[in-house]
Structure 1
Amino acid sequence: MKTYTLTVFEKTGEKLLDETFTAANDDEAKRIGEQKLKEKQFEHKTHRCTTSSGKLILFHR
Structure 2
Amino acid sequence: MQTYFLTVFDQTGERLLNETFEASGNWEAKKIGQTRLDEEGYSEYTHRCVSPNAKLVLFHR
Query: TM (normalized to structure 2)?
Result: 0.98
**SS at 1:44's partner residue?**
coil
Paired positions, count: 61
* Percent identical: 54
Distance 1:16 1:55 in 2: 21
TM-align CA RMSD = 0.4
| Unaligned ranges ≥5, structure 2 | none
Unpaired runs of at least 5, structure 1? none
Aligned position for 2:37: 37
Counterpart-to-counterpart distance in 2, 1:32 and 1:57: 11
Report the residue type matching 1:10 in the other structure. D
With the length of structure 1 as denominator, give the TM-score of the two structures: 0.98
Runs of 4+ with >4 A deviation:
none
